[in-house]
Amino acid sequence: MFLENTKKTGSIEVICGSMFSGKTEELIRRLRRAQFANLKVEIYKPAVDVRYSEAEVVSHDSHSIPSTPIDSPGSMLLLSGDVDVVGIDEAQFFDDTLVEVAQALADRGVRVIVAGLDTDFAGKPFGPMPALMAVAEDVTKVHAICVKCGSLANRSHRLSSDDKLVVLGEQDKYEPLCRHCYNKATGKATE
């Protein structure tokens, strides 16, 4: 006789890469599949991210899914009572407590899917992303296409000289570049 597995097993999945690499698109795809499977899904994004919508996670390709904007990761523990899946977009904008929150949710049996930039405009690891990748069961690195040479892009090159860590923007402020073109554009090239 076949016995149904009713044990909930939690996990952390990280989707990371540069801007315009399809991180949010992949997050939305995974969350929709969970919804199709009749799983209870909660989706969160940083309240500071209002580029496309205040209350939805929206990809650059205009696909969207309803979400709850929050100011701090701790809110997820309060708002995610009896859920199967938690989606988190733009994770790099949260503080390092996101790692503890994601682990606590996974320990409760929740599948946690996190999307975010792995590096900032200066090419440095961004926010809680490195620590999330370290504790995740699965890490998917997605790539954009370099707008200069057509290679795989893994850098988010800021087009302005603004040196603040967080500057919200789209194609007006950022372009995806490969390592070589990024180094050339930022004066780090050794050629």
Classify strands 174-177 and 155-158 as parallel, antiparallel or unpaired: antiparallel
What was the pLDDT predicted at 67? 81
Cβ atoms within 10 Å of 177's Cβ, excluding its own: 25
What was the pLDDT predicted at 46? 87
Whole-number Å distance between alpha carbons of 154 and 50: 24
| Residue 191 CB partners (closer than 8 Å, separation 6+) | 184
User: 119, 118, 123, 126: which is closest to 188 by C-alpha?
Assistant: 123
User: 57, 54, 142, 52: which is closest to 91 by C-alpha?
Assistant: 57
Instruction: Tell me yes or no: is domain 11-143 CATH 3.40.630.30.
Output: no
The amino acid sitting at 146 is C
pLDDT, mean over the chain: 87
Is 56 noted as a catalytic residue in this protein? Answer: no
State the DSSP code for 49: -
Beta partners for residue 80, in sequence order: none
Out of 90, 137, 175, 191, pick the active-site residue: 90
Domain residue spans of the chain: 11-143
What was the pLDDT predicted at 51? 60
In a 10 Å sphere around its CB, with 0-12 CB exposed, 13-18 middle and 19+ buried, how is residue 176 labelled?
Answer: buried
Question: With a cut of 70, which residues of the chain have pLDDT below it?
Answer: 1-7, 49-64, 168-171, 189-191
What was the pLDDT predicted at 44? 93
Tokens for 117, please give them. 């930039």
pTM: 0.87
What was the pLDDT predicted at 190? 62
What is the per-residue pLDDT across 56-73, written as a single tens digit (0 to 9) for each? 566 556 566 778 888 999
